[in-house]
């Protein structure tokens, strides 16, 4: 049984290619970056997860709103990240455990609320 809440996965190849680690190269200040959240009923077996209440995340409104949106809607959610906030979000995500992904779960930082989980990563709009 799949733990993924979505019935279809649109653009999974892009999601897997984007990953969660640093995507920046050169001057990306004028490009649009998005924090992406993909909800799951539970985190991957054996994955290190981070609580949504973790001090590294609780002061970043974009993360908190995205986790809530993804879990409440049960679908992929995106939030545009302003260039002045991107470095903070990227640094915080990179400081947390990353699950490398498998056939069912995408690569990302898994943030949990109760028993549910959201895979978070940054993605640059082409």
**What is the pLDDT at residue 20?**
37
Asked if residue 14 is part of any domain, the answer here is no
Asked if residue 92 is part of any domain, the answer here is yes
Asked if residue 64 is part of any domain, the answer here is yes
Number of domains in the chain: 1
User: Model pTM?
Assistant: 0.75
Q: What's the rounded mean pLDDT across residues 79-84?
A: 91
Q: Is the pLDDT of residue 21 over 60?
A: no
Asked if residue 115 is part of any domain, the answer here is yes
Handedness of CA 100, 48, 7, 23 (dihedral sign): negative
Asked if residue 84 is part of any domain, the answer here is yes
**What is the pLDDT at residue 111?**
97
Report residue 84 as tokens: 């002045």
DSSP assignment letter at 47? -
Asked if residue 20 is part of any domain, the answer here is no
3-state secondary structure 20-65: CCCCCCCCCCCCCEEEEEEEECCCCCCCCCEECCCCCCCCCHHHHH
**How far is C-alpha 72 from the geometric centre of its chain's CA atoms?**
15
Q: Is the pLDDT of residue 24 over 60?
A: no
């Amino acid at each position: 049984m799949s733990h993924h809440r979505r019935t279809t996965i649109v653009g999974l190849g892009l999601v897997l290619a984007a990953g969660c680690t640093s995507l920046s190269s050169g001057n990306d200040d004028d490009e649009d970056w998005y924090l992406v959240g993909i909800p799951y009923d539970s985190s991957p077996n054996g994955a290190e997860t981070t609580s949504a209440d973790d001090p590294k995340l609780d002061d970043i409104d974009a993360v908190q709103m995205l986790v809530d949106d993804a879990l409440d809607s049960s679908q992929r959610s995106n939030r545009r990240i302003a260039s002045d906030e991107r470095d903070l979000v990227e640094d915080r995500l990179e400081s947390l455990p990353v699950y490398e992904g498998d056939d069912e779960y995408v690569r990302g930082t898994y943030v949990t609320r109760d028993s549910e989980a959201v895979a978070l990563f940054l993605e640059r709009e082409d």
